[in-house]
Amino acid sequence: MTAVHARCGAWEGIRFVVNRRFSYGGWRAAALLVAVVVAAPLSAAPPAAARHGAVPGDVNGDGYRDAVLPAPGANVAGKEGAGAVVVLYGSKSGLSTSRRAVITQNTAGVPGSAEAHDGFGGATATADLNRDGYADLVVSTPFEDTTRGRDVGMVTVLWGGKKGLTSGTDLPATNPGAYYGLDVAALSAGPGAATQVLVGGYEGTMRFAGPFTRSGTYGEAVENRDTASVNSVALGDFAAGGRPDEVVVTVRLSELSGGQVYVNPVRGGAQQQGNGLIAAAGDVNGDGYDDLVVGDPDDPQSADDGALGGRLLLWYGSARGIAWEAQPVRLTQNTPGVPGASEKGDNFGAALAVADLNRDGLADIVVGSPLEDTGKTDAGQVTVIPGRQTGSLGTGAYAYTQDTAGIPGAGETGDSFGTSVAVGDINGDGKPELFLSAAEENTSTGAVWVLPGDTGGPTTRGSYLITAPSVGFSQRDNTLLGGNGLLGVI
């Protein structure tokens, strides 16, 4: 293994993994951290995926963005946990579960074939990669068995067109190692290398840059094995230079809450003032530079690390990007204005989206706390922290639970509301909808709530619930509609 960076000191050459058996169920066993000095990737019990879910994108070019709902635990043709992705087509009237496409590895044009426990849909991302006016969908299958070995993983691009997602090609890793596709990110910021896909796994990352074509070609593929055992990836333009910057977050490291955070690894080394498990990017203060938000949902491992109940770390972008020694803004549920209170095991920061919900030009931070107790143990909560040009972040924050007025259903023990979060306008009115999932709802079949966009942001008026049976899944448990987020590792 290549050393992470000289500044890592005693941690140099050490790789850490979560020793926790993958399951499409609702277990809550504590993660066991293992530190091993190795010269090759560890073969460890796989972590449950996925980290991120795709934002809505217009895959059929009708002018309305389409929602993407992963179901990595779905049974396909008798294959348990083979996985699927549901596309619900947007329209002026919003979404209808009758206007859908269910895509698996048995779907015509999709590479591979459905096999038990592949986890197709483990992580997803949308972007118009070939810049033809149709959104494309990047889908990972992190537990795919290939000729290279068991649970090697694969990543597929499903190409958008007038008839939707009808064909796919692979984004191959140079040396996939294990669990290639634990997380994916995609950003189409312009022609050529301004459009990129970033893929994370236990061997490191693969960065693919444009131009992309439907036949499966791309301009460049770069392997990075200097930051191995990757848990989360993101792309953002932190210096407004027109080309994406890479963000890599490792798996947990011993004596830290979460793993190390790298921006454009490994030019400057890990961020020295923070760590976490998941990352997202957006312009929170409206200065034209993307900012980096990292969720660190773990309780502290030492006196000077982490925050009780979890935290967010925010690094502001600038003309020089984000320096490795930069101090982040720290946000918890004890931050003034943020609803609730920091309590052990809340896992505030376990899901993230950064997007402008109220069209004020400032990106808002949507954060999940899927193990928050809201009258029922681990029922879950989602908090929105509005972006601000001046003043303290946290002011004006608000929260949702399943018991919030207007939201269908009711909070129950172990639902994990806030497993994943996403934002996107699916009815073309310019007011983005908010998508919230609960992986453990209804014996882990999962569910997704859609909160309509309004002038001041999302509203619970007219909100609705999408369940696994409503989109065609008949199995009684473990479908994981909406994805499993970080539930496999928190």
For the chain, what are the domain ranges?
A: 51-225, 258-489
pLDDT in tens, 381-436: 999 999 999 999 999 999 999 999 999 999 999 999 999 999 999 999 999 999 99
Look up residue 441 and give its DSSP letter.
Answer: H
Q: Beta partners for 454? A: 457
Which of 209, 196, 254, 206 lies closest to 230 in space, CA to CA? 206
Asked if residue 38 has pLDDT above 90, the reply is no
Domains 51-225 and 258-489 fall in the same CATH topology: yes
Cα(1)–Cα(102) distance, rounded to whole angstroms?
40
Higher-confidence residue of 302 and 262: namely 262
- Angle CA(31)–CA(225)–CA(354) in degrees, nearest 5? 65
Asked if residue 46 has pLDDT above 50, the reply is no
Asked if residue 325 has pLDDT above 50, the reply is yes
pLDDT bracket for residue 272 (50, 70, 90)? confident
Mean pLDDT, rounded, for 280-287 = 98
pLDDT in tens, 297-311: 999 987 678 999 999
Helix (H) or strand (E) holding 443: helix 441-444
Mean pLDDT, rounded, for 216-244 = 94
Mean pLDDT of the chain: 89
Mean pLDDT, rounded, for 186-209 = 96
Cis? peptide before 266, omega within 30° of 0: yes
Mean pLDDT, rounded, for 356-360 = 96
Query: What is the three-class DSSP state of 140?
Result: strand
What pLDDT, on a 0 to 100 scale, did the predictor assign at position 44? 38
Q: Which CATH architecture has domain 258-489?
A: 7 Propeller (2.130)
What residues contact 59, with CB distance under 8 A and at least 6 apart? 66, 87, 126, 134, 135, 136, 137, 160, 161, 164, 165
Asked if residue 99 has pLDDT above 60, the reply is yes
pLDDT bracket for residue 8 (50, 70, 90)? very low
- For the domain spanning 51-225, the CATH number is 2.130.10.130
Asked if residue 106 has pLDDT above 50, the reply is yes
